Structure 1
Amino acid sequence: MRLPAIVLMLAAGLIVGPVLGLLDPAAQFGTMLSPMIAIAVAIILFEGGLTLDVDHLSDAATGVRRLVIIGAPLGWLMSACALHYVAGLSWETSAVFGGIMIVTGPTVIAPLLRQAKLAKRPAALLQWEAIVNDPVGALAAVLAFEVVVVLQTATGAGHAVWQLAMGIGVASALGLAGGAGLAAAFRRAYVPEYMKVPVLFVVLLAVFAVADSVLHESGLLAVTLMGLWIANAGLPSFTELYRFKEHATVLLVSGVFILLAAGMSFDRLMVLDWRAVVFVAVVILIARPLPVLIALAFTNVPAKERILVALTGPRGVVLVAVAGLFGERLVELGIPDGDRVAPLAFALVAATVVLHGFTLSPVARFLGLSAGEKPGVLILGGSRWSVELALALRKMGQVEKKGEKGEVKKSTGLPVMIADPNHARLRGAREAGIDVFFGDILSEAAEERVELIAYEKLICAAENDAYNTLVATDLAPEFGRDNVFQLKRVKETSSRHALPATLGGRPLAPQQTYFEANAAIAEGYEFRVSTLSEEWKLENWREMLNGAVAVAELTPGGRLRFLAPDEDPQDRPGTRILSFTEKREERREA
């Protein structure tokens, strides 16, 4: 649908909840609703911690550090001021809610980044800031709440400080101990492979519950640290663990967001007035951008990236969940405007999710920070066949435009890169002006230097069939299995050497092995690009290029699709067809 998923969840929750009255979470789940959401948020934050691989932070480290150390306190201060002076809340409520507003929402950032296809560094800045600031924001709210409790109940300040320090210390110790213990148990094979995910869940919930019993919401810090430790432990089974957790998180984010939206009643939403609208505008235009720009000043982060990060601050599940909890506690303490916290939090989340959901991609493209404006292709193997295919793909995506003086200009075409661990085999690609990566595409160097998000399709066309199968299988979850293709294996017709469907990539037309494909190039075959029109249809293409095999098509809307061996391209005007056919006689002679 090409719509932000979070926006659809928000709409679904509002429709089944306040609008139609089909779902009332508080009535139907009762006292189980709060612990359900708490556990879901804990699992979501743990999965966020699993993405914090320190080795991948690289040049974004300085920016992230400043966003947390400088940007978070400034954001807390400016948010509290906006709540007090614009929304009209008391200083007690503003201090607590302002701390929660530091959280920018990894549960919202992740799907938005996946859709927007940002360049590597701004994406890393936004993701790391969101994940690290989640527990920081919750703890800031805890600190402010403890101060409010001291002022309201006249409890000793020393006791509050001691409780806060004890809670943070216990949470940190539990999180690191849980991560280290699990990593050691998995590495030494104390846990069977099929039991690793259940054991992971049990330890995660235990760590969260124990830390939360010492200091409320400190469990968020514990599970984040636990995920951080496991992410950097170098476990062989980490990829399988992370993928399962990622799938669970998608379900939990969807469910929690719909439940929270459905739990909003019209009576609670009616609390919002014009001051709430102005408050949301001030947060989006001032309280978010200003702290970010101050924090990133005088760093190596380019100005365009600073602007993008400053203008991107969607709030998510954690903000609504924690704000609702502290709002109730403030009311219990006798602070009347505590009941306005939940509706304001919901309004802020709804506004930022919708705004950034629809504007992040256009703003990134405008600033030149989008890594995937066109459907790129990554080709494994630097053979002559790969070079010819890369050149044809670039030509396929070229668009002719007339300049101011009437001259015809061509765009750069589709982004294509050829990767090969053999430097000599990349010579032809370099001479043809094609982007190359020298090294193993599965290496850590490739993760750091290759913007995989810029490439939509993967074609495994190296000389070694086993290596093609390995790369196709390993990167299939990254690209999507429908977008990974592989040349025909030499012995795949033999039952002794046939592989299951779960391994390798999809067949690519024409069905040729590495040696057959390159032999055909040597014998005079070529890749050719043809464009259909109202007058020149698919039937004319077949007549003119008798014997040609359609390899891919590029629709007028810019969608690139590689065709199966028995699949025909669409007969639509403007469609570009990439075919593999014999060279024309005049071109042979040339």
Structure 2
Amino acid sequence: MFPLELFEIMLIGVLGIGSQWIAWRYRLPAIVVMSITGLLVGPIFGIINPEEGFGDLYSPIISVAVAIILFEGSLNLNFKELRDISKPIFRISTLGAFIAWILGSLTAHYIAGLSWAVSFVIGGLFIVTGPTVIMPLLRQAKLNPRPAKILKWEGIIVDPFGALLAVFAFKVIEFLTGVIPDITHLLLFFAASVFAVVLGWAFGRGLGWMFEEGHVPEFLKSPVVVVVVIFCFTIADIVMHETGLLSVTAMGITLANMGISSISDMRHFKENITVLLTSTIFIMLTASLERETLLQIFSPNIIGYVVLMMIVVRPLSIFLSTIGTGLSLNEKTLVGWIAPRGIVALTVSSYFATILLNAGYQDAEILTALTFALVIFTVVAHGFSIGWLAKKLGLSSQGHPGALLIGSNKFTVELSKSLMKADIPVIIVDSNWESLSLARKEGVSFYYGDMLSEQTEHILDTIPYDYILTITDDSAYNSLVCTTFVPEYGRTNVFKISPYTEYGNGYSSGVVSKVGGRILFDKKFNLDDLLEKLDDGYVFRQTTLTEQFSYEQYVAEKDDSTVFLYLIKPSGQLKFYSEEMRTVPSTGDKIISLTPPTKEKEKIQAKIESIRDINQN
């Protein structure tokens, strides 16, 4: 008999990663696509029900996945980022969270019709946003650094606090209603929370020390991290439910700020794991919903609650908590609107629904429907609006996707000038001040520093730039930069100038194709060749393809020494030439090439003759 559990695991994985690919391909919010996919295969068509299929393992799988996702997010929380945003981050995470809790609880009572006890529990839980929903939106919208950092830090820090606040509210309710006779349980709750933080810090310090002292080999570092995260989460959660999230967050922040040399490798590995976990967990959660839950979502009290949470509670909590923090009105507006709820809200609310029902609060039956309504409405609304709103408020990169050029020389400066003429953001990065003199003279944007240094990572705003082009005279450095940024930018967006000293010799093609990014333009032309062409009078020329002048005709007429550089599609999409480029230019495309001076002279002469003919007629 065919094992149905195996089929469910396979289908969940395929649907999760397939949803991510569709979202990438058509530039849609990934969490929206995943949620819709889960609903289709779950409650709508009834193909799978992971909660029934996995049985008792369902909740532990979700909990461990959330712990790993939250830990991976906290690895990005370096305190050096807080130079100019520490005040708003602190205010939003404390005062803002408290205001959101109170206002959210009042809304749940008066609008959703919940009892005071259930309202304060769910009000505490719904202050969370979380990395599973915030990170994909930040990658999609290309926000300016300050609002992006605020949303990232808030999402990761407040995530465990939301769950703890819900636990705290429930403990207070038990004390006030006499279920707990004394205040001992409340004190134990605070002690367990402190223990979770200390435990996470201790595991983080211990793991960091072992890595730095060489007690863990390179090939075991990432597996060891995953196992330790699960161990840390489990120990804290056994002591007090929901403190495990706090523990793994503390562990991640500790590791992120220890300056461990191999932390970037672990981060890349865990980013890949997180994408897989996020995809599968969203499919599992949405596919496990009941049809009755979906129908409940459209009841007036739930819709009214969700709308007020989005347009009143969230903006008000942000505006009140950030008074005097230096945030502009536009930044407050954006941060006040963006607050999508995700996996933590869904998983923890189902836990409290059971606890509250067992305690006699029958109105807790609608918690699952209420939570999913808030999740799906915020995910869809914020997912589709963040890019548009950020551009309207001037808080995201505008125009075409940009290019970041590593290495300052005559060719990169001329290439930058041609990109600037096409209204494409461009910047040159070099650690040699003298080499940057030409860029400064020609008015090209530049950054003085090493692209691989930690200081550059925290100072240089790389959001406007979709492509990295390494064009220095050091082939090893070019490959190193490409290898470093391939996980972040993708292999198709990272290029290096040809390392060949002459065509067919030098580096072996097998090594070149595997180390670093793709070879830029053509392997026949290294940096010396391009600089030599510029010295010989070669010019940057733009050619627009038309129905009368096709790409085939253009290739046939071009000089053999012409170097194809890049093309711009009518949509504004930028594509750099390389031997691995599969795009065939079509009508409307603009091709920029490095052309021999004879071609340019012929073009000028043709224009002169054309003008002469017109004057004669």
TM-score range, shorter chain: over 0.9
Q: Aligned partners of 1:587 and 1:9: how far apart in 2? A: 53
Is the Cα–Cα contact under 8 Å of residues 382 and 429 in structure 1 kept in the other structure?
Answer: yes
Map 1:398-547 to 2 at 5 A. 413-491=423-501, 493-494=505-506, 499-510=511-522, 511-542=524-555, 545-547=558-560
Residue 202 in structure 1 maps to residue 216 in structure 2 = no
- SS in structure 2 at match of 1:377: strand
Q: Which moved more, 1:563-572 or 1:147-156?
A: 563-572
Residue 7 in structure 1 maps to residue 32 in structure 2 = yes
Rate the CA distance shift 1:255–1:496 in 2: closer, same or farther, 3 A.
closer
Which residue, 102, 114, 117 being the options, matches 2:127? 102
**What displacement does 1:266 show?**
1.2
**What displacement does 1:505 show?**
2.3
Which residue, 582, 585, 588 being the options, matches 2:596? 582
Q: Aligned partners of 1:64 and 1:126: how far apart in 2? A: 9
Rate the CA distance shift 1:237–1:571 in 2: closer, same or farther, 3 A.
closer
Residue 293 in structure 1 maps to residue 293 in structure 2 = no
**What displacement does 1:544 show?**
5.0
Deviation digits for residues 7-35 of structure 1 (CA, Å, limit 9, x no counterpart): 11101110111011111122211111111
Q: Aligned partners of 2:80 and 2:603: how far apart in 1? A: 50
TM-score (norm 2): 0.89
Q: Aligned partners of 1:47 and 1:568: how far apart in 2? A: 35
Q: Aligned partners of 1:206 and 1:570: how far apart in 2? A: 52
**What displacement does 1:543 show?**
5.2
Q: Which moved more, 1:545-554 or 1:136-145?
A: 545-554
**What displacement does 1:335 show?**
0.5
Residue 382 in structure 1 maps to residue 396 in structure 2 = no
Structure 1 residue aligned with 2:610 = none
Rate the CA distance shift 1:326–1:425 in 2: closer, same or farther, 3 A.
same
Rate the CA distance shift 1:199–1:567 in 2: closer, same or farther, 3 A.
closer
**What displacement does 1:498 show?**
7.4
Deviation digits for residues 86-113 of structure 1 (CA, Å, limit 9, x no counterpart): 1110110000000000101211000111
Deviation digits for residues 412-456 of structure 1 (CA, Å, limit 9, x no counterpart): x00111111111221221222210011111122322332212111
Q: Aligned partners of 2:569 and 2:521: how far apart in 1? A: 18
Rate the CA distance shift 1:200–1:312 in 2: closer, same or farther, 3 A.
same
Is the Cα–Cα contact under 8 Å of residues 552 and 569 in structure 1 kept in the other structure?
Answer: no
Deviation digits for residues 561-590 of structure 1 (CA, Å, limit 9, x no counterpart): 11224868634232110111112238999x
Rate the CA distance shift 1:567–1:191 in 2: closer, same or farther, 3 A.
closer
Which residue, 265, 273, 286 being the options, matches 1:261? 286
Is the Cα–Cα contact under 8 Å of residues 388 and 526 in structure 1 kept in the other structure?
Answer: no
User: What is the identity, as a one-letter code, of the residue corresponding to 2:420?
Assistant: R
Rate the CA distance shift 1:490–1:545 in 2: closer, same or farther, 3 A.
closer
Q: Aligned partners of 1:348 and 1:373: how far apart in 2? A: 33
Rate the CA distance shift 1:165–1:532 in 2: closer, same or farther, 3 A.
same
Unaligned residue ranges in structure 2 (runs of 5+): 1-25, 606-617
Q: Which moved more, 1:444-453 or 1:414-423?
A: 444-453
Q: Aligned partners of 2:140 and 2:62: how far apart in 1? A: 26
Q: Aligned partners of 1:553 and 1:582: how far apart in 2? A: 18
Structure 2 residue aligned with 1:353 = 379
Rate the CA distance shift 1:586–1:448 in 2: closer, same or farther, 3 A.
farther
Map 1:18-417 to 2 at 5 A. 18-272=43-297, 273-371=299-397, 373-395=399-421, 397=422, 413-417=423-427
**What displacement does 1:550 show?**
2.1
Rate the CA distance shift 1:569–1:226 in 2: closer, same or farther, 3 A.
closer
Q: Aligned partners of 1:200 and 1:69: how far apart in 2? A: 30
Is the Cα–Cα contact under 8 Å of residues 518 and 580 in structure 2 kept in the other structure?
Answer: no
User: What is the identity, as a one-letter code, of the residue corresponding to 1:166?
Assistant: A
Q: Aligned partners of 1:569 and 1:498: how far apart in 2? A: 23
Is the Cα–Cα contact under 8 Å of residues 553 and 569 in structure 1 kept in the other structure?
Answer: no
User: What is the identity, as a one-letter code, of the residue corresponding to 1:542?
Assistant: V
User: What is the identity, as a one-letter code, of the residue corresponding to 1:98?
Assistant: G
Is the Cα–Cα contact under 8 Å of residues 550 and 569 in structure 1 kept in the other structure?
Answer: no
**What displacement does 1:138 show?**
0.9
Structure 2 residue aligned with 1:407 = none
Structure 1 residue aligned with 2:613 = none
Q: Which moved more, 1:302-311 or 1:545-554?
A: 545-554
Structure 1 residue aligned with 2:41 = 16
TM-score (norm 1): 0.93
Q: Which moved more, 1:384-393 or 1:470-479?
A: 470-479
Unaligned residue ranges in structure 1 (runs of 5+): 398-412
Q: Aligned partners of 1:495 and 1:330: how far apart in 2? A: 67
Q: Which moved more, 1:215-224 or 1:540-549?
A: 540-549
Rate the CA distance shift 1:498–1:342 in 2: closer, same or farther, 3 A.
closer
Is the Cα–Cα contact under 8 Å of residues 524 and 588 in structure 1 kept in the other structure?
Answer: no
Q: How many residues align?
A: 573
- SS in structure 1 at match of 2:447: strand
Is the Cα–Cα contact under 8 Å of residues 521 and 565 in structure 2 kept in the other structure?
Answer: yes
Q: Aligned partners of 2:585 and 2:75: how far apart in 1? A: 46
Aligned sequence identity (%)? 39
Q: Aligned partners of 2:302 and 2:32: how far apart in 1? A: 20
User: What is the identity, as a one-letter code, of the residue corresponding to 1:519?
Assistant: E
Q: Aligned partners of 1:476 and 1:518: how far apart in 2? A: 27
Is the Cα–Cα contact under 8 Å of residues 392 and 529 in structure 1 kept in the other structure?
Answer: no
Is the Cα–Cα contact under 8 Å of residues 84 and 94 in structure 1 kept in the other structure?
Answer: yes
- SS in structure 2 at match of 1:437: strand
Q: Aligned partners of 1:142 and 1:372: how far apart in 2? A: 43
Rate the CA distance shift 1:14–1:432 in 2: closer, same or farther, 3 A.
same
Q: Which moved more, 1:521-530 or 1:565-574?
A: 565-574
Q: Aligned partners of 1:377 and 1:150: how far apart in 2? A: 60
Rate the CA distance shift 1:206–1:383 in 2: closer, same or farther, 3 A.
same
Is the Cα–Cα contact under 8 Å of residues 499 and 507 in structure 2 kept in the other structure?
Answer: no
**What displacement does 1:372 show?**
5.4
**What displacement does 1:489 show?**
1.4
User: What is the identity, as a one-letter code, of the residue corresponding to 2:549?
Assistant: W
Residue 549 in structure 1 maps to residue 563 in structure 2 = yes
- SS in structure 2 at match of 1:297: coil
Q: Aligned partners of 1:91 and 1:478: how far apart in 2? A: 46
**What displacement does 1:463 show?**
2.0
Q: Aligned partners of 2:150 and 2:126: how far apart in 1? A: 18
Deviation digits for residues 294-335 of structure 1 (CA, Å, limit 9, x no counterpart): 111222222211111011110100011011111110001001
Q: Aligned partners of 1:212 and 1:345: how far apart in 2? A: 23
Structure 1 residue aligned with 2:577 = 563
